[in-house]
Amino acid sequence: MTETAAQPAYASTNPATGEVAATFDFATDAAIGEALAAGHGAFLDWRTLTVQERAALAKRIGGLFAERCDELARIAVEEMGKPLGEAVEEVEFCQAIFDYYAEHGPDLAADQPITSFSGDQAVVEKRPIGLLLGVMPWNFPYYQVARFAAPNMVLGNTMLLKHAESVPRCAEAIQRLFDDAGVPAGVYQNVFATFGQVEQIIADPRVQGVSLTGSERAGSRIAALAGQHLKKCVLELGGSDPYVVLDADDVAAAATQAWETRIYNTGQACNSNKRMIVMDDVYEPFVARLTELAGGLNPGDYSPLSSRTALDRLKEVVDDAVAQGATLHAGGVVGDGPGAYYSPAVLTGVTPQMRAYREELFGPVAVVYKVSSDEEALELANDTDYGLGGAVFSSDVDRATKVAARLDVGMANVNTPAGEGAEIPFGGVKRSGFGRELGPLGMDEFVNKRMFYVKSS
């Protein structure tokens, strides 16, 4: 993650118009040094509070997410193009996450007694480890931060947060929310850091871990730095999730659900159903329904991608597939003007030599494959370097369950696109990263599971 002149500035650019609303200076090295000192100093006091006291502050943060829902949602719409209704849902999910750890955090952080054969007293304590760095993406600018920050603040860690360069106003809004909730200074600090400063932060001995949600390339670099400096890291690096349809009583309804899942957040979700794997006897009507849905959209019916850069990357991969013989049934049209509009598309006939077969399509493109058996569906589903999530659908629950049980993923789902909730762990395997966030596992990453043993007399 070596700093170069190519790093984009922290700028709030409306992807619907291309207009820059605000720019923000990079942090100075002195400011980063002050943030490190403040974060470490805050940890020494923050960890002495009871977990119940920290949980009460988490509850207050959840309440502020609710109070400021409309304001926060509007910023996300203006800054990364998120549809308004989905932006509201994201903020509401943040409240649910903070409420979950406020309510359940004390129990999740409780000591775990060990039955000692010697009769002595032994427990495993869950203790905070110190100052952490979070490197967060733009696609869910609030939710991604919430799932990192909520469990760690309740546990007793302190945090520096380096957000994506394209959502600085979202980043500032989160900082204000923590401050207004009464969280002590230094516990949570937003820093507009450069790539070079991220390296310095990870190398600093006061920092004990780093969590990144982002690209595979960034994750590889962060993991290398964390390993070099012997720091714990958690990585969520995207995916190419299989969405397997073995059969359907109502094919049109099944295709509609698949389509709505795919275009959620304008297709910019790590665990989106990027590969639809459909049994041959329902394949044709399934594709026909997707094509109908995509073809019925007008420019005002869909939101822009996060940026023109994101649009260009997506278009390049789709164009490569079409040039090599794939069929674009509908969509794939770049809008007029400076906005980042790309009409939602349906693509079939993708083969292994095409980039679309291996690369993550981070945008509203439904790629559909035809298979003729459960084994073929499973083989295709697992033929990917990624392993975030996957879903299998069938009117026969046992059949779907047997296939889903063999998916090489971190999150396997039966007859639902994804199991979601503050209590449901999130994370993947293979090149989708490692570690888990949310649920009870969310408090088990950046924690000192200290064994405490007392010899009986």
Which residues are designated catalytic? 236, 270
Half-sphere exposure for 289 (CA within 13 Å, toward CB) = 17
